[in-house]
């Protein structure tokens, strides 16, 4: 059985982390398989959005610690450099929206991979743990960049040092995720809805949001001007405006 399952449904690439007996913790082939699936999502024009979730009772327990400690396993520096850094870069630079459906506990790199997605839903029984501090590591997978920006420096600092478990409801309340839900149908349906939207414009929005993390206001205004010009030349902008004026439903292509 493959560590990553993927299939296309209604123009959405559904990626399922599939090592349920080890709470979908990552081993090296699984990290590479996820990277390949994200590359496929970027380049296959049939795919207009991605939905990432996990099999079984967990979303992902981060790095497989048995592999990390094994003499035959990859070196720690290579785990971060070759597994998690590329996953986070690929998620943030993927030109299609990525919806995450956190189906259970998300710990360590698993939590930060979820938080790198564009729209994060979590089952209300799910939870998030910055588990790294409990084993003497530092938060990786972009956690030290993403979490303080989502929930503020002080909360991020406390959660990362204490390794406390945060429920999905609390994660929603503090702005760590978009929504805590009773069932993940809403999450998958959101990915399907996004896949029918002007996905080129959504990509340019994501690009602007990515850069807003480090830009000055002036830099950001200049970037908005540039990206809006690009969006204004798209097929989807033309289609959206004409459909509005004709009082019909637009058919977007993501171009
Ligand atoms: O070198 C490096 O590591 C660098 C990379 C770092 C990236 C990271 O992600 S570091 C952080 C690694 N993750 C963790 O520290 C989390 C470890 N797991 C847990 O704390 C708990 O499992 C959970 C809080 C996530 C869930 O707890 P619970 O009680 O619901 O489940 P459990 O009984 O602990 O786990 C169930 C099984 O999954 C169990 O296996 P068994 O006994 O049934 O055969 C457990 O060993 C296995 N499992 C869970 N997490 C991992 C794991 N096996 C390997 N690696 C794991 N991360």
Q: Where are the domains of the chain?
A: 4-195, 199-246
Domains 4-195 and 199-246 share a fold: no
Question: Topology of 199-246 in CATH?
Answer: Lyase 2-enoyl-coa Hydratase; Chain  A, domain 2 (1.10.12)
Euclidean distance between CA atoms 105 and 107, whole angstroms: 6
Q: Return the ligand 1 atom nearest residue 22 CA.
A: 38
Does domain 4-195 sit in CATH 3.90.226.10?
Answer: yes
pLDDT in tens, 196-239: 999 999 999 999 999 999 999 999 999 999 999 999 999 999 99
Q: Which residues of the chain have pLDDT under 70?
A: none
Q: Where are the beta strands (DSSP E) in the chain?
A: 4-9, 12-17, 49-54, 58-60, 98-102, 105-107, 119-123, 127-129, 165-167, 179-181
Please tell me the distance between residue 66's alpha carbon and the centre of ligand 1 in angstroms: 9
Please tell me the distance between residue 204's alpha carbon and the centre of ligand 1 in angstroms: 37
């Amino acid at each position: 059985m493959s560590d990553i399952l993927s299939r296309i449904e209604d123009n959405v690439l559904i990626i399922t982390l599939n090592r349920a007996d080890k709470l979908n913790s990552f081993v090296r082939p699984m990290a590479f398989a996820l990277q390949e699936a994200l590359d496929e999502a970027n380049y296959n024009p049939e795919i207009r959005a991605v939905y990432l979730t996990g099999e079984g009772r967990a979303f992902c327990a981060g790095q497989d610690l048995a592999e990390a400690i094994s003499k035959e396993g990859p070196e720690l520096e290579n785990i971060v450099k070759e597994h998690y850094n590329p996953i986070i870069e690929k998620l943030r630079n993927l030109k299609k929206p990525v919806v995450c459906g956190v189906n259970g506990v998300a710990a360590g790199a698993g939590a930060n991979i979820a938080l790198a997605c564009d729209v994060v839903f979590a089952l209300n029984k799910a939870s998030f743990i910055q588990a790294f501090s409990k084993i003497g590591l530092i938060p990786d997978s972009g956690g030290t960049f993403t979490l303080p920006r989502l929930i503020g420096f002080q909360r991020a600092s406390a959660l990362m040092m204490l390794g406390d478990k945060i429920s999905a409801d609390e994660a929603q309340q503090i702005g760590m995720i978009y929504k805590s839900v009773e069932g993940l149908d809403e999450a998958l349906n959101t990915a399907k809805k996004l896949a029918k939207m002007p996905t080129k414009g959504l990509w340019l929005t994501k690009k602007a949001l990515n850069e807003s993390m480090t830009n000055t206001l002036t830099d950001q205004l200049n970037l908005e001007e540039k990206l809006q010009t690009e969006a204004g030349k798209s097929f989807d902008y033309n289609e959206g405006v004409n459909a509005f004026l004709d009082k019909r439903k637009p058919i977007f292509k993501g171009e």
